[in-house]
Amino acid sequence: MSNRGVRNLFVFGSLFFFVIFIALTVDTMKKIDKRAPEITEEVDQGKKLWHKYDCIGCHTILGNGSYFAPDLTKITVNKPEGYLEKFLVHPRKVKPSAAMPELGITPDEAKKIVAFLDWTSKVDTNGWPPKPVLAAYRMPQIPGVTVYQKYNCSACHMIGGIGGTSGPDLTHVASRKPDIEWHKRHIRDPQSVVPSSAMPPFPQISDEELNQLADYLITLK
Amino acid sequence: MKYESQKIAQHFYTFAILLFFVQVLVGLIAALQFIWPDFFLLKFNVIRDLHINALVVWLLLGMMGATYFVVPEESQSELWSIPLAKFQFWATVVAITAVILGYIWMGFDPQANKYIFGTLLLNEGREYIEAPRWADWLIALSVILFLFNNFMTMYKSKRWTGIQGTLLGGLTFLTLMYLPGMFYTKSMVKDQFWWWWVVHLWVEGSWEIIAGALLAFMLMKVTNAPRHVLERWMYIEVALVLFTGILGTGHHYYWIGTPKYWLWVGGIFSSLEPIPLLLMVWDAFRTTRKHRVISNRLGLFYATSHAIFNFVGAGLWGVIHTLPQVNKWTHGTQITTAHGHLAFYGAYVLLVISMIYITLPLIRGVTEFNTSRGYRSFWWMTISMVFIVLSLTGAGMVQTYMERLVGLDYVTVKANYNLWFWALRAIFGLGFVYGVFLFVLDFFKLGREPVEAAAPANVSETTA
Task: Give the pLDDT confidence score for residue B2 in this predicted structure.
Answer: 84
Note the pLDDT tens digit of each residue in B349-362: 999 999 999 999 99
- The residue-averaged pLDDT of B406-416 equals 91
Note the pLDDT tens digit of each residue in B151-160: 999 999 999 8
User: Is position A148 within any domain?
Assistant: yes
Query: Using CA of residue A138, residue A144, residue A146, residue A147, what is the dihedral sign?
Result: negative
Of the partner residues B48, B260, B412, the one whose CB lies closest to the CB of residue A57:
B48
DSSP state of A162: E
All residues of chain B having their beta carbon less than 8 Å from the beta carbon of residue A21 are 246-247, 249
Residue pair B176/B140 in contact (Cβ under 8 Å)? The answer is no
A117 and A53 in a common domain? yes
Phi and psi angles of residue B115, each rounded to the nearest 5 degrees, phi first: -85, 125
- The residue-averaged pLDDT of B198-226 equals 93
Hey, how many other C-beta atoms are within 10 angstroms of the C-beta on A45?
17
Compute CA distances A35 → A32, A119, B162, B211, whole Å: 5, 11, 45, 38
Task: Give the pLDDT confidence score for residue A78 in this predicted structure.
Answer: 86
- The residue-averaged pLDDT of B247-275 equals 97
Compute CA distances A112 → A42, A49, A50, A106, B15, whole Å: 6, 8, 9, 10, 41
Residue B167: which pLDDT band, with cuts at 50, 70 and 90? Answer: very high
All residues of chain B having their beta carbon less than 8 Å from the beta carbon of residue A165 are 409, 411-412
DSSP A34-66: GGS----HHHHHHHHHHHHTTGGGT-EETTEE-
Task: Give the pLDDT confidence score for residue B460 in this predicted structure.
Answer: 34
- The residue-averaged pLDDT of A97-111 equals 95
- The residue-averaged pLDDT of B243-256 equals 97
C-alpha span between B339 and B330 (Å, rounded):
12
Residue B414 pLDDT more than 70? Answer: yes
All residues of chain A having their beta carbon less than 8 Å from the beta carbon of residue B242 are 10, 13-14, 17-18
CA angle B212/B238/B301 to nearest 5° reads 25
Distance from CA of A207 to the nearest CA of B (A): 30
Across the interface, whether the CB atoms of A163 and B410 are under 8 A apart is answered no
C-alpha span between B15 and B281 (Å, rounded):
29
C-alpha span between A196 and B226 (Å, rounded):
75
Write the CATH number for A57.
1.10.760.10
Distance from CA of A155 to the nearest CA of B (A): 9
Task: Give the pLDDT confidence score for residue B15 in this predicted structure.
Answer: 98
The residues that bridge with A158 in the sheet, in sequence order, are A163
- The residue-averaged pLDDT of B178-193 equals 96
Task: Give the pLDDT confidence score for residue A129 in this predicted structure.
Answer: 95
User: Is position A170 within any domain?
Assistant: yes
A168 and A113 in a common domain? no
**Helices B350-363 and B297-309: angle between axes, nearest 10 degrees:** 160
Residue B464 pLDDT more than 50? Answer: no
Distance from CA of B456 to the nearest CA of A (A): 37
Those of residues 136-155 in A touching chain B at CB distance below 8 A are none
User: Is position A9 within any domain?
Assistant: no
A148 and A102 in a common domain? no
Note the pLDDT tens digit of each residue in A21-33: 999 999 999 999 9
Across the interface, whether the CB atoms of B242 and A14 are under 8 A apart is answered yes
Task: Give the pLDDT confidence score for residue B59 in this predicted structure.
Answer: 97
Best A4, A33, A54 residue to mutate vs chain B (most B CBs within 10 Å) = A54
Hey, how many other C-beta atoms are within 10 angstroms of the C-beta on B275?
15
Distance from CA of A78 to the nearest CA of B (A): 11
Domain count for chain A: 2
Across the interface, whether the CB atoms of B48 and A66 are under 8 A apart is answered yes
* Nearest one of B189, B397, B219, B210 to B304, comparing CA atoms: B219
* Residue in A closest to B326 by C-alpha: A130
Across the interface, whether the CB atoms of B238 and A10 are under 8 A apart is answered yes
Residue pair B357/B9 in contact (Cβ under 8 Å)? The answer is no
Residue pair B83/B104 in contact (Cβ under 8 Å)? The answer is no
Distance from CA of A93 to the nearest CA of B (A): 16
Query: Using CA of residue B215, residue B221, residue B222, residue B227, what is the dihedral sign?
Result: positive
Residue pair B10/B85 in contact (Cβ under 8 Å)? The answer is no
User: Is position A7 within any domain?
Assistant: no
* Residue in A closest to B31 by C-alpha: A68
A59 and A110 in a common domain? yes
Identify residue B139 by its one-letter amino acid code.
I
Across the interface, whether the CB atoms of B48 and A134 are under 8 A apart is answered no
Task: Give the pLDDT confidence score for residue B462 in this predicted structure.
Answer: 35
The pLDDT mean for chain B works out to 94
Those of residues 47-86 in A touching chain B at CB distance below 8 A are 47-48, 50-58, 60-71
How many CA atoms, within 13 angstroms, populate the side-chain half-sphere of residue A127?
A: 11
Residue B292 pLDDT more than 80? Answer: no
Residue B96: which pLDDT band, with cuts at 50, 70 and 90? Answer: very high
Alpha helices in B202-250 (DSSP H): 207-223, 227-248
Residue pair B44/A56 in contact (Cβ under 8 Å)? The answer is no
**Whether A123 contacts chain B with CB within 8 A:** yes
Query: Using CA of residue A160, residue A162, residue A163, residue A164, what is the dihedral sign?
Result: positive
C-alpha span between A180 and A144 (Å, rounded):
13
Last residue of a domain, one of A121, A156, A183: A121
C-alpha span between A183 and A199 (Å, rounded):
13
User: Is position A72 within any domain?
Assistant: yes
Of the partner residues A14, A52, A161, the one whose CB lies closest to the CB of residue B125:
A52
Across the interface, whether the CB atoms of A24 and B265 are under 8 A apart is answered yes
Report the percent of chain B where pLDDT is more than 90: 91
- Contacts of B94-101 with C-beta under 8 Å, sequence gap 24+, read B95/B135, B95/B138, B95/B139, B95/B142, B96/B19, B96/B57, B98/B135, B99/B53, B99/B131, B99/B132, B99/B135, B100/B50, B100/B53, B100/B54
Residue pair B347/B430 in contact (Cβ under 8 Å)? The answer is no
Residues in Cβ contact with A118 at an 8 Å cutoff, skipping those fewer than 6 apart: A43, A76
Across the interface, whether the CB atoms of B124 and A104 are under 8 A apart is answered no
C-alpha span between B345 and B347 (Å, rounded):
6
All residues of chain B having their beta carbon less than 8 Å from the beta carbon of residue A18 are 242, 246
- The residue-averaged pLDDT of B61-78 equals 96
A82 and A52 in a common domain? yes
Cα-Cα-Cα-Cα torsion B429, B430, B433, B438, nearest 10 degrees, comes to: -130
Note the pLDDT tens digit of each residue in A113-138: 999 999 999 999 999 999 887 765 56
Residue pair B65/A127 in contact (Cβ under 8 Å)? The answer is no
Residues in Cβ contact with B172 at an 8 Å cutoff, skipping those fewer than 6 apart: B147
- Cis peptide leading into residue B450 (ω within 30°): no
A161 and A199 in a common domain? yes
Note the pLDDT tens digit of each residue in B18-51: 999 999 999 999 999 999 999 999 999 999 999 9
All residues of chain B having their beta carbon less than 8 Å from the beta carbon of residue A65 are 127, 332
User: Is position A53 within any domain?
Assistant: yes
- Contacts of B446-452 with C-beta under 8 Å, sequence gap 24+, read B446/B360, B446/B361, B446/B364, B446/B366, B446/B369, B446/B370, B447/B360, B447/B361, B447/B364, B447/B365, B447/B366, B447/B369, B448/B364, B449/B370, B451/B368, B451/B369, B451/B370, B452/B370, B452/B372
C-alpha span between B298 and B280 (Å, rounded):
19
Task: Give the pLDDT confidence score for residue B428 in this predicted structure.
Answer: 98
Across the interface, whether the CB atoms of B247 and A55 are under 8 A apart is answered no
**Whether A92 contacts chain B with CB within 8 A:** no
A205 and A156 in a common domain? yes
Task: Give the pLDDT confidence score for residue B163 in this predicted structure.
Answer: 96
| Secondary structure tally for chain B: helices H, strands E | 18, 2
CA angle B29/B33/B37 to nearest 5° reads 140
Residue B101 pLDDT more than 60? Answer: yes
A151 and A98 in a common domain? no
DSSP state of B134: H
Across the interface, whether the CB atoms of A132 and B406 are under 8 A apart is answered yes
Residue B459: which pLDDT band, with cuts at 50, 70 and 90? Answer: very low
Q: Is B358 exposed, middle or buried (0-12, 13-18, 19+ CB in 10 A)?
A: buried
Best A3, A27, A34, A52 residue to mutate vs chain B (most B CBs within 10 Å) = A52
Q: What range defines the domain where residue A66 resides?
A: 38-121
Residue B424: which pLDDT band, with cuts at 50, 70 and 90? Answer: very high
Task: Give the pLDDT confidence score for residue B463 in this predicted structure.
Answer: 35
C-alpha span between B94 and B268 (Å, rounded):
43
Residue pair A197/A191 in contact (Cβ under 8 Å)? The answer is yes
A41: left (phi over 0), alpha (psi -120 to 50) or beta: alpha
Residue pair B216/A10 in contact (Cβ under 8 Å)? The answer is no
* Residue in B closest to A31 by C-alpha: B259
How many CA atoms, within 13 angstroms, populate the side-chain half-sphere of residue B327?
A: 27
All residues of chain A having their beta carbon less than 8 Å from the beta carbon of residue B412 are 158, 161, 165
User: Is position A198 within any domain?
Assistant: yes
Best A21, A39, A67, A72 residue to mutate vs chain B (most B CBs within 10 Å) = A67
DSSP B241-296: HHHHHHHHGGGGSSSSS--THHHHHHHHHHHTTHHHHHHHHHHHHHHHHH----S-
Residue B458 pLDDT more than 60? Answer: no
**Whether A9 contacts chain B with CB within 8 A:** yes
A171 and A99 in a common domain? no
All residues of chain A having their beta carbon less than 8 Å from the beta carbon of residue B124 are 51
- The residue-averaged pLDDT of B272-282 equals 95
- Residues present in chain A in total: 221
Task: Give the pLDDT confidence score for residue B253 in this predicted structure.
Answer: 98
Residue pair A146/A213 in contact (Cβ under 8 Å)? The answer is no
Per DSSP bridges, beta strands A64-65 and A60-61 are antiparallel
C-alpha span between B39 and A136 (Å, rounded):
37
C-alpha span between A185 and A191 (Å, rounded):
9
Task: Give the pLDDT confidence score for residue A155 in this predicted structure.
Answer: 87
Note the pLDDT tens digit of each residue in B367-395: 899 999 999 999 999 999 999 999 999 99
Among A133-147, A193-207, B339-353, B429-443, whose mean pLDDT is lowest? A133-147
- The residue-averaged pLDDT of B175-199 equals 96
Across the interface, whether the CB atoms of A51 and B254 are under 8 A apart is answered no
CA angle B28/B30/B33 to nearest 5° reads 115
**Whether A8 contacts chain B with CB within 8 A:** no
Task: Give the pLDDT confidence score for residue A221 in this predicted structure.
Answer: 86
More confident residue, B308 or B367: B308
The pLDDT mean for chain A works out to 92
Last residue of a domain, one of A88, A121, A154: A121
User: Is position A22 within any domain?
Assistant: no
Of the partner residues A39, A62, A163, the one whose CB lies closest to the CB of residue B255:
A62
Query: Using CA of residue A62, residue A71, residue B99, residue A46, what is the dihedral sign?
Result: positive
CB pairs under 8 A between A and B: 214
A109 and A48 in a common domain? yes
